[in-house]
Chains A and B, each alone.
Chain A
């Protein structure tokens, strides 16, 4: 028999099993780590046609989010402003800056600026901005600290768990309606007091505003 199976083949089954276990573990670990929006979406920071800085406009200068994203309280969709909105200030502020050439051209011709969309839910998800913003969910909960981003990147995973975590306990996230666009707002600088205030007010908001954070499929998938 030794002609057919030399001595070294004795160890072969063990090696094959060990190799298979290693490969399977790596595969599972790889899927767990990579096949999730935490990897595929978070950190997406495309090159935009205009080097617009949210950190300067919303952060430093304190322009309200709704100056540009005007429809966020009325519509399911939070609009990207037209170039005319930029030109309301930039007809006099930095009027000849080369970085704004694309904006000036768009305002003059009406051709849209080809902004790259960063935050994108799948087409079978019917997310409604107005429903959230008018019920005390701040922009920061889904978009992160945009007021500190020079270039906007995808900060939160937007996975289904991400939505459900909040839908299962909205009281932990709700804040007073006039603080929605104040992305650095906190109940208190003291984290303990802030947590206490959130606990007290959060559940009050849920009952007062009749917040229906639905968990059934058709709430989001229609």
Chain B
């Protein structure tokens, strides 16, 4: 009995040494205890798949094509005017139809809803470099990114909205493009928010309603 217990204990300790405990980090691939259909021969996004020559489960769009997919609503949510991504319209390209001139104003209906969306998207995508205030003092300034545009620069204030759209879509100078990150509608919403940021610095006391002026300290 004594030997049996000793052997059992030793086996137990040995086993514990091999398998370890819960809540410890490990490099080992997780074991799937009951692997019934856990992994199925179907495509999963961004996963490897031996079916294709380049091993990529996610396929790239065919060169020179664009997704038709769902149309975009021009106005606020619930609007019935629809636009498809392949149409040569200012809202898709930032240019006036048929020419290379930039469209002057945002082709979508600018609403509070769009501005709010723009604020959120700006904070996600633009703030790291351009800063929360749009003055080009984002976190990357301290990390070695020296040339970041100040969005309050008169050069940018005077830019047509279509040109800003073009910059977000295709990039400019050291800023690379955000076409893949930010959807067409979100790009316009960001532009609307940038315009709001710019106006906040261009405002004069006359823009403040008279009854509220006394609340501002000069």
Contact = CB atoms under 8 A, between A and B. Distances in A.
B42 A44 contact: no
A134 B176 CA distance: 28
A41 to B, nearest CB: 5
Contacts, number: 104
How would you classify the secondary structure of chain B's contact residues: helix, strand, loop or mixed?
Answer: loop
Interface in B154-196: 174-176, 178, 180-181
Interface stretch (A86-94, A135-143, A163-171): A86-94
A15 B4 contact: yes
Given A40-B32, A84-B176, A84-B180, A89 B24 contact: no
A64 B124 contact: yes
A79 interface: yes
A4 interface: no
29 contacts: A22-B8, A37-B30, A39-B21, A40-B30, A40-B32, A41-B30, A43-B25, A44-B26, A44-B28, A63-B139, A70-B181, A77-B45, A80-B46, A88-B175, A88-B178, A89-B129, A89-B145, A92-B140, A92-B144, A93-B143, A93-B144, A93-B145, A94-B143, A94-B144, A122-B39, A123-B38, A123-B39, A123-B42, A178-B120
Interface of A: 11, 15, 19, 22, 26, 33-35, 37-47, 61-64, 66-67, 70, 77, 79-80, 82, 84-85, 87-89, 91-95, 112, 117, 120, 122-124, 153-154, 178
Interface of B: 1, 4, 8, 12, 19, 21-33, 37-40, 42, 44-47, 56, 120, 123-125, 128-129, 139-140, 143-146, 174-176, 178, 180-181
